[in-house]
Chains A and B, each alone.
Chain A
Amino acid sequence: MTDHPVLSLEHVGLRIGGARILNDVSLDVPAGEMLGVIGPNGAGKTTLFNVVSGIIRPTEGRVLLDGQDVSHVAIHHRAAAGLGRTFQTSSLFQALSVVENVRMVAQAHAGGATSVFRTPRRTDAATTRALETLAEVGLEHRADAVASGLSHGEKRKLEIAMLIAMEPKVILLDEPMAGVGSADVPALTEVIRGLHRGGRTVLMVEHHMEVVLGLVDRVAVMHHGELLAVDTPEAVMANPAVQSAYLGEAV
C-alpha cells in the first residue's frame, strides 16, 4: 500500500525516576509483518507495548503510526486509528458477559459507541459482528457467560476475539500463551496465525519459543531496555548473545 512502515519507533527512550527503562529503541515494522519480541524478564517488552499503545508517554523519541507522529496522541485515538492490543494478564470487563465484551469493541470500531440514542439489540450489526467473532475463536458457546467465570484459556481467547472485532491494522500481543495448557497451545496458535493472515501487522511478545519460531517473520530481541537485534528467527537463535542472555542452556 504505502512505502513507509506502518509502525516505526524513532530513538524511543523512557526514564522513570532515575531508571532507564527504554533506551534509544528504533524499529520499523512494515505492513503485514509478524514480528516476535523476545527478551529476558524485565527487558522492557511490555513497556515498549505500553509506549506504542499510549499508556505510557516516552520521555524521548517518537512513535509513528502510518507515518503520523502519535507520541502525544491519547490512548483512545490511537486505538481508533487501528492499533489493538492484549495484556499480559487478561484484562476484561469482568462483570459483563462474553458477547457484551466483544460488542463493546465492535461498537467502538463502528463509531457511535457512546451514543445515548442507540440501544444495543440482539439483532444489530455490532452484536452480529460480536457473535461472528466469537465463532472465529471458538467461544460462541460461551457467549452469555459472565467473563469472570471463564477458565484461563477461554479468557485468552476472549482477548483475541476482542482484538479481531476491533479490526485493527496493527496488533500488539503480550504473552498470549502464558498459562495456556499445552493442550490448548496449538489451537490458539492457529487463531493468531489467522489474525495475521488477514494482512494485519502483528507484534507478539512470547516466551514460548516454539510458538514464536513457528509464527514470526522476524524476531526483535530486547535486553536492558535496548534493542539488541532484529533479524530472522534462525539468525537470532544462532546469536550467542541471545543464547546467553535469554535462552540459556535450554537450546
Chain B
Amino acid sequence: MTTRERQRLEAAPQDRDRLTRDLLRPVLHTSPRIYLTMMALGAFVLAGLVAFVYQAYWGMGVSGLNRPVFWGFYITNFVFWIGISHAGTLISAILRLANARWRRPVTRCAEAITVFALVIGASFPIIHLGRPWLFFWLIPYPSERGIWPNFRSPLLWDFCAITTYLTGSLAFLLLPIIPDWATLRDRAIGWRKKLYRVLALGWRGTPREWHRLEMAMRIMAVVIIPVAVSVHTIVSWDFAMVPVPMWHSTVFGPYFVAGAIFSGIAALIIAMALLRKILHLEEYLKPIHFDHLGKLLLVMSLLWVYFIVAERLTVWYGNATPEVAVLLATQRGKFLPLFWTMVCCNFLIPFPILAIKRLRTITGTVIASSTIVVGMWLERFLIVVPSLEFKYLPFSWGNYRPSWVEITITLATFAAMPLLYLLFVKFVPIISMWELKGGEHPEPAAAAELAPGHEASDPWEGTLPSAGS
C-alpha cells in the first residue's frame, strides 16, 4: 500500500461523507424560511385555483378573450411552459450522450424543471377549455358517446406528444433517483424511512443493477431527444396547421424548438442559481457550470435571432397582405412596445453579457436568463395574439386585454413552479449523489496511468468539490 493510497483511504470516507451530508441536508432539514416561502407560493397557487374554479363556474367570459381573439394568455402560457420544459430532459440527454462530465451536478436540476414545466404547461389546454370538465374527451377510450377523438387534430397530436414526453421525462428523472433513494432509505428515520424504502424498490447497488440502470438511461437519452424535438414542433403545429396569417409557416417547427431550448436553458440557469443560494450548494454548482450553460445560451440567442429574421424577412419580402398586416402590427403598430422589449430581452441585453467572457459570471448569466425568460414569454404572446387580432377580414379585427382571472392563473403557475421545485428538493437530493461521486473516479483507462498532474490537465477540473476545500 503506497502512501498515496493510504492518504486517500483516510481522506476519502470523510470527504464522501461530507458530500452525502451536504447533498442530503436540504432533504432532511428544512428551515422555517423555506416553510414560509412555500406558504407564500402556496397562497398564489391557491388564488390561481380559485380563479380557475370561478372561471369554470361562470364561463370563459370572465377571461379577456373574445371574438376574434379566442386564444390569449392561457395558450401563451401553454407554449411558454412547454418551452421551458425543454430545459431539462433535452439538455441532460444531449450532455449524457456527449458524455460531458460537467453535466453531473446539473442534470437532475434540469430534468425536474422538465417534469414540472410539462405538468404546468399541459394544464393550460385544460384551463382554457370552454367545458374543462370534459377534458377527458381528448383521450382515446371506448366512450359512451360512441366516438373517438379526431387524430387529424393537432390537439390530439399535442396530447400524444405531451403524454410521451411526460412519460419519458418522468422515467428519465426517476430512474437515476432510485440509487439516491436507496441512500436516503439508509439515512432517514421514521416515516421517511418507510417511504424511501418503498421508493428505492429494494435497490442495493449490484453490478447488474448498475449496468441495467446505465443502459436504460442511455436508451432513454437516445429516445428522449427526438421526442423533445417533436413535442415543441407539434406545439408549433397547433399554430402552423391553420391558415392564420403568420401562423401558417413552415419555419414554425424549428423556430419553436430553438425558442424552447433557449427559454429552457435560461430557466435552468435561474433555477440553479436559486438552488445554489437557498440550499447552499455553492461547492457543487460552480461558476464553470454557469459559464458553460451561458455559452449554450449564447448560441441559442443567436439561433433565435436567426429564426426571427428567417420568419420576418420572408413575410416582409413576400408581401402577402394579411401577413404583412400582422407583421407591421407587431413591429410598428399596437404591439410595438412588446415587440421591441422582446428583442431587447432576447438578444440586445443577453448577447453582450453572454458573449463577453468577463460578464459571463453567475450574476451575468442570471441577469441574461431573467430577461430571456421575460422575452420568451413575450415572444409566445406575440405569436398567439397579434395573428388573431389581425386575421384576414379587417372588419373582424379585434382587441385583446387579459382579465384578472387570466393574470391570476398565470401568476399562480409562476408560483407553482418554485413550489413544486421546493417540494421536490425536500424529497430528493437535487444533485445526483451517485453520479457526482462516480465523477470522482477517473475513467478506467486513465486510472491505469494515473499520474500526478493529470487531474490539473482535466478540462473539467474544478467541477467537483476538492477535498478539504
Are A and B part of the same complex? no
Residues of A within 8 A of B (CB): none
Residues of B within 8 A of A (CB): none
